[in-house]
């Protein structure tokens, strides 16, 4: 069987706010082959990823992603990395292609799961999927009081771990950040896991991160996430040598497995965070999970969007029992909440379980797609290259 | 003075061939501020870079590039890295943004050069621009005989150095590659510099590169370029330890200065090749040139397109006398040849000199732009986001 059709659906909230909330839009991928259908999701910038799917060829190493996917054989899981390698090779000079490939790769795994009647984690070689401990992933409040209130709310809702990130953290003075951290710890109480996400705010300035370390230690933050941009390996390594017992987390910006492996080898991370919607899909994410596991670094998903994306991001490390935490979006916009009829809710022990049904086991709701669908048309060289497809 | 307008012009040959020739299309950037005009060029995938300029915001760290550029103050050269940092921060999750920024950064340098009446290399702090020795940059022939003929032609045209890359090299059997290398050396004669570009064909498979080393040594190749993808730092380092006297070259895939610096620190390169049309423009390229110079690695431009791109790519290392080689496209398509009325031709000693006129000192020809201009329209959310502008 061959890949007959791939359709991209750009969904968006009616209004996009200028906040660090990635659940405000989404790019869905529907892939069809041999009478089966798979779904995937690409992280961020839907219009740009659509353009990289259908742009005219620039030269032999800068082809539209569609050239490497449509018509390809998709019979077994070995075809998925083969197609991924075709995309990377033929779109070598097309930077956005890695993000576009991500949703396609996820959809291929979903489709083959449905075809074989098995969940994706089994196709990845895991005998079972272990439950994960979700950390409530939230933005810092605008001030310490707002963060305190949020922390109390997530504690009351039963989360054993909570992460605060972005918002004003790291952008103002030290005292404000200290207040934020203490408010977070106070709201959570003494026993819950506190995680802190700086959202790359210090770029590569190690001293700025060092100034926050005493407060991070006092508040017993388990990790400091993304103090720096992903490429600043040396800055990560220098901070890691001084941050104990606070561990560093990072990797969401990795758009291929080499970037993630270089971080694992050189950045001194305690946790590697991979977004299957960016790194090229489930295939490279699974390679990174295995690589991290062999090196004693904990793999964690990066997910701030829909439960389709969440379900895809959990597959690569579903069978790794020691890698227990999972990022869990707790304040998504209605688009993020409504996209899938089924959702992955914490059980009575507060644990998240992957569906055992074929493929990802979770699919977008056509009504939700229609509700948030953005009308797009791209014309070039006298042709309509893309027009929003029918659901 | 503020940035009042930025226009993108997508140019293309009528027919794009499936060969490794990057001169078949181009994305020009025209930037206007305070009555001045600057020009730049982004490498590859014009439609995708245009989309990243005008796409709707996804969230606070995934904004269209235009949001970080239009209306910004552009008075002095310190504004250029400031604007670049704004783009990186606000389009952090928009992978293509680095390529889009590249042309904008180049145009800002060109504009400030024109405003101050000084060539860009002077604005970068270089008292003078040293002449460079161009290497004729060509594709391997379809077979060894074709490569022999090309090598003879470039030798006859007086080039002291010639590079062959892509085409069939590395994709077939070892014997064919050996024949290609010996044909190249035979055609060049004993004294000219031979450079070889594998175009990342072996991805990260060190053994495939090692099998070609005896022939590369016999034919006295000065460098082996891009045996692997840019992220495969460990594969580069392992090969570098065994490749002497053949040095490794790479880096054209770097889309920020961190990637390039990591290669310089870890990949064992003898030469770092930077494309100002990809790395984010002249600003990060200059940083990489300084970093390479301090570490004894030779900086070389990567350019396979127009003389506007060539002129931009030579600025970052113009004042570094010891970094002598420059890539020089010798078989561009008519679009590449015709885009600028002025071109950088070798002098009677075969050397390339940068213009001493203000800015880049070379500008696109309006007639050529009109001749190759592609008609594009992008609509989303009920609005026309982009339409091909007037020249």
Among residues B146, B26, B31, the alpha carbon closest in space to that of B83 is found at B31
| A25:B58 CB<8 A | yes
Q: What is the DSSP letter of B140?
A: P
* Residue with more model confidence, B44 or B23: B23
Window 301-360 of B, Cβ < 8 Å to A: none
The pLDDT-based confidence of B172 (bands split at 50, 70, 90) is confident
Query: Å from A280 to nearest chain B CA?
Result: 12
The 10s digit of each residue's pLDDT in A274-297 is: 999 999 999 999 999 999 999 999
The 10s digit of each residue's pLDDT in B96-106 is: 999 999 999 99
Percentage of chain B modeled with pLDDT above 70: 100
> What's the complex ipTM?
0.96
Residue B204: list chain A partners with CB under 8 A: 258
Those residues with Cβ within 8 angstroms of residue A378's Cβ, 6 or more apart along the chain or in another chain: A50, A51, A54, A384, A385, A386, A387, B47, B51, B376, B377, B378, B379
The pLDDT-based confidence of B161 (bands split at 50, 70, 90) is very high
Q: Does B259 touch chain A (CB under 8 A)?
A: yes
| A96:B98 CB<8 A | no
The 10s digit of each residue's pLDDT in A336-382 is: 999 999 999 999 999 999 999 999 999 999 999 999 999 999 999 99
By the 8 A CB rule, do B194 and B219 touch?
yes
Q: What pLDDT does residue A222 have?
A: 98
Residue B238 has pLDDT above 90, yes or no: yes
Q: Does B52 touch chain A (CB under 8 A)?
A: yes
Q: What pLDDT does residue A172 have?
A: 85
| A94:B379 CB<8 A | no
The 10s digit of each residue's pLDDT in A310-323 is: 999 999 999 999 99
- Partner residue opposite A99 with nearest CB, options B95, B199, B200: B95
Mean pLDDT across B344-366: 96
Residue A52: list chain B partners with CB under 8 A: 45, 48, 96
Those residues with Cβ within 8 angstroms of residue B209's Cβ, 6 or more apart along the chain or in another chain: B198, B202, B224, B227, B228, B239
| B45:A62 CB<8 A | yes
The pLDDT-based confidence of A62 (bands split at 50, 70, 90) is very high
Residue A386: list chain B partners with CB under 8 A: none
Residue A258: list chain B partners with CB under 8 A: 204, 229-233
Mean pLDDT across A142-153: 96
Percentage of chain B modeled with pLDDT above 90: 97
Residue A349: which H helix or E strand, with range? none
Residue B350 has pLDDT above 90, yes or no: yes
| A377:B378 CB<8 A | yes
Q: Which of A95, A234, A304, A305 to mutate to test the interface with B (most CBs of B within 10 A)?
A: A95
Q: Would the pTM of this model clear 0.80, i.e. be above it?
A: yes
Residue B12: list chain A partners with CB under 8 A: 56, 381
Count the neighbouring beta carbons within 10 Å of the beta carbon of residue A382: 7
Q: What is the DSSP letter of B158?
A: T
Mean pLDDT across A131-160: 96
Q: What pLDDT does residue A230 have?
A: 93
Residue A255: list chain B partners with CB under 8 A: 95
All domains in chain B, ordered by first residue: 3-119+365-387 (3.30.390.10), 123-338 (3.20.20.120)
The pLDDT-based confidence of A331 (bands split at 50, 70, 90) is confident
Q: What pLDDT does residue B331 have?
A: 85
Task: Return the residue of A nearest to B93 by Cα.
Answer: A44
Residue A272 has pLDDT above 90, yes or no: yes
Q: What pLDDT does residue B118 have?
A: 98
For residues A280 and A87, give the distance between their C-alpha atoms in angstroms, rounded to a whole number.
10
Question: Which residues sit opposite A193 in a β-bridge?
Answer: A161
Q: Does A133 touch chain B (CB under 8 A)?
A: no
Phi and psi torsions of A116, nearest 5°: -95, -5
Q: Does A225 touch chain B (CB under 8 A)?
A: no
Beta-carbon pairs below 8 A across chains A and B = 208
Distance separating the N- and C-terminal Cα atoms of chain A: 23
Q: Does A376 touch chain B (CB under 8 A)?
A: yes
Q: What pLDDT does residue B127 have?
A: 97
Q: What pLDDT does residue B44 have?
A: 85
| B56:A25 CB<8 A | yes
The 10s digit of each residue's pLDDT in B284-314 is: 999 999 999 999 999 999 998 999 999 999 9
| B166:A44 CB<8 A | no
SS (H, E, C) A118-147: CEHHHHCCCCCCCCEEEEEEEECCCCHHHH
| A94:B44 CB<8 A | yes
Q: What pLDDT does residue B20 have?
A: 87
Q: What pLDDT does residue B123 have?
A: 98
Residue A93: list chain B partners with CB under 8 A: 22, 43-45, 278
| A379:B376 CB<8 A | yes
């Amino acid at each position: 069987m061959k890949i007959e059709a791939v359709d991209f659906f750009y969904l968006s909230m009616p209004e996009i706010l200028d906040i660090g909330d990635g659940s405000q839009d989404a790019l869905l991928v529907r892939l069809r082959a041999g009478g089966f259908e798979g779904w995937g999701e690409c992280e961020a910038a839907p219009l740009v990823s659509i353009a990289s799917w259908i742009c005219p060829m620039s030269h032999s190493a800068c082809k539209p992603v569609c050239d490497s996917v449509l018509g390809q054989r998709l019979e077994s899981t070995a075809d998925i990395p083969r197609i991924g390698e075709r995309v990377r090779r033929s779109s070598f000079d097309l930077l956005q292609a890695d993000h576009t490939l991500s949703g396609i790769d996820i959809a291929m795994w979903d489709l083959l799961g449905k075809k074989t009647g098995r969940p994706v984690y089994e196709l990845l070689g895991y005998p079972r999927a272990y439950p994960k401990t979700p950390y409530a992933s939230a933005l810092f409040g605008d001030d310490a009081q707002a963060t305190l209130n949020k922390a109390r709310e997530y504690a009351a809702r039963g989360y054993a771990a909570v992460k605060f990130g972005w918002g004003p953290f790291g952008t103002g003075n030290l005292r404000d950040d200290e207040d934020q951290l203490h408010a977070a710890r106070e709201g959570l109480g003494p026993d819950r896991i506190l995680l802190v996400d700086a959202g790359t705010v210090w770029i590569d300035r190690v001293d700025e991160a060092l100034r926050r370390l005493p407060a991070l230690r006092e508040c017993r933050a388990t990790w400091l996430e993304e103090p720096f941009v992903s490429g600043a390996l040396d800055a990560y390594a220098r901070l890691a040598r001084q941050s104990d017992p606070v561990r560093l987390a990072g990797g969401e910006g990795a758009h291929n497995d080499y970037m993630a492996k270089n971080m694992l080898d050189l950045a001194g991370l305690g946790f590697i965070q991979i977004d299957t919607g960016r790194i090229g899909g489930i295939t490279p994410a699974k390679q990174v999970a295995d690589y991290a596991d062999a090196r004693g670094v904990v793999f964690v998903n990066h997910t701030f969007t829909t439960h389709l994306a969440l379900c895809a991001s959990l597959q690569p490390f579903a069978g790794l029992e020691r890698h227990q935490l999972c990022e869990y979006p707790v304040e998504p916009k209605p688009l993020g909440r409504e996209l899938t009829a089924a959702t992955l809710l914490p059980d009575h022990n507060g644990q998240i379980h992957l569906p055992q049904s074929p493929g990802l086991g979770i699919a977008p709701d056509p009504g939700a797609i229609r509700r948030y669908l953005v009308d797009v048309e791209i014309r070039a060289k006298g042709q309509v290259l893309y027009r929003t497809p029918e659901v």
